[in-house]
């Protein structure tokens, strides 16, 4: 069993309507993470949620690129970019946190992907690898040393948050049953899990936590 300690935080990644069944970019079984996360949230001293919060015409939207389709991969200024359906547009219901998520347990909600020209998967650093979100500094101010991750999607924003959390000097633990994957392209989930393991990110289940 892994005991939750002072200095631990839970980061709830992008549990938003557009990433859940019926949403614009639904992760298969994405809403199944909600009861799992709700069950453990209040055991953590600090809980942070992230939201994709894109302006209309965001650079990651396939609709912005003439002749391109969702899930195609393009190069934008030397950076590989997956083109997604329009999703989590700021101020729309799709961008809202899932209504069943216990938002009263959240200490902070961090919005990312707000720059129309830069995508943002990680809760720590945007995809240009230069723009930080401020989360690392906030967690340090709150005395956080170890972060646990749940949310959507395992192989996209959760993966990026895990790897950048390690680069920022935090211990990071993935809560596998509190996440779901999109697995685009096929095999992406397996690749992401291997990358996280290689970065010394243990993979646990929530029933292995002890408050």
pLDDT per residue over 89-109, tens digit each?
A: 999 999 999 999 999 999 999
User: Sign of torsion, CA 161 163 166 172?
Assistant: positive
- Of 8, 14, 155, 183, which is the active-site residue? 14
User: Does residue 44 surpass a pLDDT of 90?
Assistant: yes
- Residue 48 burial by CB count (10 A; 0-12/13-18/19+): exposed, middle or buried? buried
Confirm whether 131 is domain-assigned: yes
Confirm whether 114 is domain-assigned: yes
- Of 18, 157, 179, 183, which is the active-site residue? 157
The question of whether 191 is a catalytic residue gets the answer no
How many independent structural domains does the chain possess? 1
Confirm whether 186 is domain-assigned: yes
Q: Report pLDDT digits (tens) over 155-172.
A: 999 999 999 999 999 999
Residues with Cβ within 8 Å of 136's Cβ and at least 6 positions away in sequence, in order, are: 124, 168, 169, 170
- Of 18, 20, 31, 112, which is the active-site residue? 112
Confirm whether 87 is domain-assigned: yes
The question of whether 197 is a catalytic residue gets the answer no
Confirm whether 57 is domain-assigned: yes
Predicted local distance difference test score (pLDDT) of residue 78 = 82
User: Does residue 76 surpass a pLDDT of 90?
Assistant: no
Quote the CA–CA distance of 169 and 46 in Å, as a whole number.
17
Residue closest to 108 by CA, chosen among 141, 83, 145: 141
Confirm whether 79 is domain-assigned: yes
Cβ-contact 88, 94 below 8 angstroms: yes
Which residue range(s) make up the domain with 197?
Answer: 2-12+28-159+174-210
The question of whether 14 is a catalytic residue gets the answer yes
Confirm whether 43 is domain-assigned: yes
In CATH, what number is assigned to the domain containing residue 109? 3.40.50.850
Which whole number is the average pLDDT over 77-91? 93
Predicted local distance difference test score (pLDDT) of residue 192 = 97
Percent of the chain at pLDDT exceeding 90: 96
Confirm whether 164 is domain-assigned: no
């Amino acid at each position: 069993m892994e005991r939750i300690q002072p200095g631990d935080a839970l980061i709830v990644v992008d549990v938003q309507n557009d990433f859940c069944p019926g949403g614009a970019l639904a992760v298969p079984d994405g809403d199944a993470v909600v009861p799992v996360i709700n069950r453990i949230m209040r055991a953590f001293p600090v809980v942070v949620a992230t939201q994709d919060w894109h302006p209309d015409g965001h650079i990651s939207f396939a609709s912005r690129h003439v002749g391109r389709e969702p899930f195609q991969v393009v190069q934008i200024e030397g950076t590989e970019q997956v083109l997604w359906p329009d999703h989590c547009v700021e101020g729309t219901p799709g961008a809202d946190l899932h209504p069943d998520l216990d938002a009263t347990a959240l200490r902070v909600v961090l919005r990312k992907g707000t720059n129309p020209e830069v995508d943002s998967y990680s809760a720590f650093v945007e995809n240009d690898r230069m723009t930080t979100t401020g989360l690392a500094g906030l967690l340090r101010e709150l005395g956080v040393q170890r972060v646990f991750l749940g949310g959507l999607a395992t192989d996209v924003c959760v993966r990026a948050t895990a790897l950048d959390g390690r680069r920022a000097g935090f211990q990071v633990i993935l809560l596998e049953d509190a996440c779901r994957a999109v697995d685009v392209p096929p095999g992406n989930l397996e690749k992401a899990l291997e990358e996280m393991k290689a970065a010394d990110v243990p993979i646990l289940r929530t029933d292995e936590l002890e408050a």
